[in-house]
Structure 1
Amino acid sequence: MKRLIQVDTYVARLIMVSFLLPMQLQVAFLFVPLVWFVFRTFKDKEAPGIINIISALLLGGMYFFYLLAPLITQTQYYSIAQKLIEYRLSYLLLPLCFSLLSPQKIAIIVQQLKWFVFSSIAACMVANSVFILKYIGLKTGFQGVT
């Protein structure tokens, strides 16, 4: 049992770090850890209430409008409508997956929020370092002359 809690902790850390990815990668990357937690929730017989699932479907209901978009879109814009469906998949997937988690599993994920903060700080430091090197430290061309 202790081993499974350790695995849950590492999987929750992956979830926290994955929130920094672009939206397309985020959905693909979050799918496996969330399936792990949903599987563990039902394996431990900690099924969530139906009200959680209904509220998640209402929250993710906006995604269903994106599914209707290709039906009413002109043919020249059809590929754009399909890209919107792909990009907005997280509007339905994430609320639904999080609604299937038990409060115990959500508590494990919330305890790992510090990894989201650490990874956000690291991303800001890298972005600022690149900006400093590119625009201040390594001046080239006309900027290097003045």
Structure 2
Amino acid sequence: MDDYPLLNLFWTMLWFFLWIMWLFLLFRVIMDIFRSDDLNGWAKAGWLILALVLPYLGVLIYVIARGRSMGTRDVREAKERDAAFKAYVREAANSPDAGGTSRGGHVEDLAKLADLKDKGALSEEEYQRAKSKLLV
């Protein structure tokens, strides 16, 4: 243990974490190359070859040249995922349940029943029977 001082251990850890961070950046750049809609196939191939053949320089050049558009694409994709999730939730909330009526429809049906009862078209007994059928 005396032949490897504590400061060298910290220095090794620092270099290890920097290497891991660079790997994450490399994979992020490669993913961005493939998801970029504004690049044609040859441009994607060129950027990919540059990032793989000269990794440090290629990644640095890519981040300098296209870093702003990387952020823009991230924000756009996050908004698209959020909109898709919200649309899914809205669709799931209005989808038919086992009885064939929509979940939001129960509220509307109950409101219609209450309105019919208030107008005198339904008696209290008929209202309670219809309400129990809806809620089951």
Shared fold (TM-score, shorter chain, > 0.5): no
Instruction: Give the TM-score of the pair, scaled to structure 1.
Output: 0.33
Q: Which has the larger radius of gyration?
A: 2
Higher relative contact order (CA 8 A, sep 6+): 1
Instruction: Give the TM-score of the pair, scaled to structure 2.
Output: 0.35
